[in-house]
Structure 1
Amino acid sequence: MGGEPLGQRLQDKPPLWGTAGIESLIPEMLAQGMIGYPFTCPDMIGGGEIVAMAEQGATDQEFFVRYAQIAALSPMMQFSVRPSRVLDDVHLAAVRAALAVRASLLPLILDLVDEAARTGEPIVRPMAYHASGLENVTDQFFLGPDLIVAPVTTPGATERRVAIPAGRWRGDDGTVVEGPTAVTVRCDLARIPRFERLTDA
């Protein structure tokens, strides 16, 4: 049914840091988009694998926030549990900040949804889709051709490296970067690092 207008959620994930859990979300969403499923959802926020969640006990609040940030800039998002039930005020505020980013970018997301319905083109795109030489970058993605999203997938991170293709790019913090390059950016709990392509007026 590739190419059909079907929502496709990733397989249930355990609530784990690392390649078996949160680090698998972006590569698998990219793969789904490239094989004909553009309307992808990165499993339930917090992890949807029931047995592993039951064994985990208390929610890892930082993990929940970082999961929500990935989902916020995906075509669809779904919570495994109501955030206010499992998060303290600081972490709940970070999830709300991610939802605010999604709301601000919803016109772009909906335009990409319409485009995918017409053309089958993925909404979440590998870096190499629009920038040669970045075939091995699988922990960030293009949302359409002009926005780079670089979520955090490692515990305790306060900064991360972001690969920047050729051109001029403005970060969500207002900094302007000339590519191609790689930059290290702050990624405090409430931040989803992202860069928008600048075009000459």
Structure 2
Amino acid sequence: MAVPQPVGFYDVTNPATRDFVWSAVRRNYYDLGVRVWWLDACEPEIQPGHHGNLSFHAGPGAQVAGIYPRDNARLFADGMARAAAETGRPEDGETVLLCRSAWAGQQKYPAAVWPGDIGPTWEALRQQVRAGLSIAMAGIPWWTTDIGGFHGGDVRDEAYGELVVRWFQFGAFCPLFRLHGYREPRPEVGWNGTGGPNEIWSYGEAAYEMIKDVVLLRERLRPYLHTHLDQASETGLPAMRPLLVDFPHDKTAWTTEDEFMFGSDILVAPVLHPGARSRDVYLPEGATWTEAWTGGEGGQTITVDAPLDRIPLFLRNGAALPIASEGA
């Protein structure tokens, strides 16, 4: 049976093919000023997904298909570096590659990764926390997620609105912060197709006020975030990282999957279940912790309030950061 396939793929492992593709990209995009790239479907997204049916320059698909996203990013990074060398403008070689997938060694290139077309569910949100921490430990410090999930979700559904608010709260403490999704109602797929509304004001007035506060919080933390993203680019230490990175001697830190450090000073404990208005938080040994919103202090494991408009955050060793807005 024929399978509709709206995209085509090239042999990314063939150097001559990469040169040919880059020549077209350079002529039609780079030379016109484009410097940042969204590299979608770079698994590759073949249908049916049987890599054993493929043959690459580097070898049988069953053996080498996994390197596709890495060498796809390599094409753009190497091409831009060569172009910048030719023009004598090093800044023209700087880029960010938003990649839907990654492979070992991709940290060599300026790849920011997101997890692809995930569902609009609480389980998907919980998975994003683990996935972001896993990819950080794999050596890629640039991570983001489709806030609200990609496929589906109806902005008129109040229950879905709760998920979106909680997802925004988590997203604000990812290295990259982005809203992206194909919402209901869905039209017929086509070149001009678009899903339902997906702006931050699309989810109703109450949700909008909470989402807006999250966006403003992210903006207040921009200098702090930039410091840690600079550190990530220089040393590889990810801004979003498991507790075990900062607290290697704390055994519980090694098994905690639903909290993380955001830089050196903020412990983030996202709310990951519907209807939850409190949650247990583990505070690692070796630091003093202050609840960012109230100034309260606690022991190693505490239960904190988490109303819908608040994500539990803890500041390490008295760090002074602009969590609450002035007058809040």
With the length of structure 2 as denominator, give the TM-score of the two structures. 0.55
Cα drift, residue 173 of structure 1: 2.2
**CA 1:199–1:98: 2 relative to 1, 3 Å:** closer
2:239 to 89, 109, 123: 123
Q: Check if 1:172 corresponds to 2:299.
A: no
2:132 to 29, 35, 45: 29
How many Å separate the matches in 2 of 1:173 and 1:68?
17
Counterpart for residue 7 of structure 1: 112
Counterpart for residue 149 of structure 2: 47
- Structure 1 runs (4+) deviating above 4 angstroms are 56-59
**CA 1:57–1:78: 2 relative to 1, 3 Å:** closer
1:157 to 256, 260, 276: 276
Q: Is the 8 A contact 1:8 1:39 kept in 2?
A: yes
| Structure 2 SS opposite 1:161 | strand
Q: Which amino acid aligns with 2:174?
A: S
- How many residue pairs end up in the alignment? 191
Gap runs ≥5 in structure 1: none
How many Å separate the matches in 1 of 2:179 and 2:118?
13
Counterpart for residue 310 of structure 2: 191
How many Å separate the matches in 2 of 1:99 and 1:141?
20
Cα drift, residue 177 of structure 1: 2.4
CA RMSD of aligned residues (A): 1.8
How many Å separate the matches in 1 of 2:223 and 2:244?
24
How many Å separate the matches in 2 of 1:168 and 1:187?
21
Q: Check if 1:89 corresponds to 2:202.
A: no
More strand as a share of residues: 1
Q: Which amino acid aligns with 2:133?
A: L
What are the residue-to-residue correspondences of 1:136-155 with 2, within 5 Å? 136-155=255-274
Q: Check if 1:62 corresponds to 2:167.
A: no
How many Å separate the matches in 2 of 1:3 and 1:144?
22
Q: Is the 8 A contact 1:98 1:192 kept in 2?
A: no
How many Å separate the matches in 2 of 1:102 and 1:148?
15
Which has more radius of gyration?
2
Q: Is the 8 A contact 2:210 2:309 kept in 1?
A: yes
Q: Is the 8 A contact 1:159 1:187 kept in 2?
A: yes
| Structure 1 SS opposite 2:216 | helix
1:110 to 222, 226, 243: 226
Cα drift, residue 146 of structure 1: 1.9
How many Å separate the matches in 2 of 1:63 and 1:199?
31
Cα drift, residue 12 of structure 1: 2.0
Gap runs ≥5 in structure 2: 1-105, 181-197, 320-328
How many Å separate the matches in 1 of 2:315 and 2:171?
19
Calculate percent identity across the aligned residue pairs.
27
With the length of structure 1 as denominator, give the TM-score of the two structures. 0.88
Q: Is the 8 A contact 2:155 2:161 kept in 1?
A: no
1:161-197 C-alpha deviation (Å, 9 max, x unpaired): 1110122111112334254x11111111110111111
**CA 1:189–1:15: 2 relative to 1, 3 Å:** same
Counterpart for residue 98 of structure 2: none
How many Å separate the matches in 2 of 1:145 and 1:57?
35
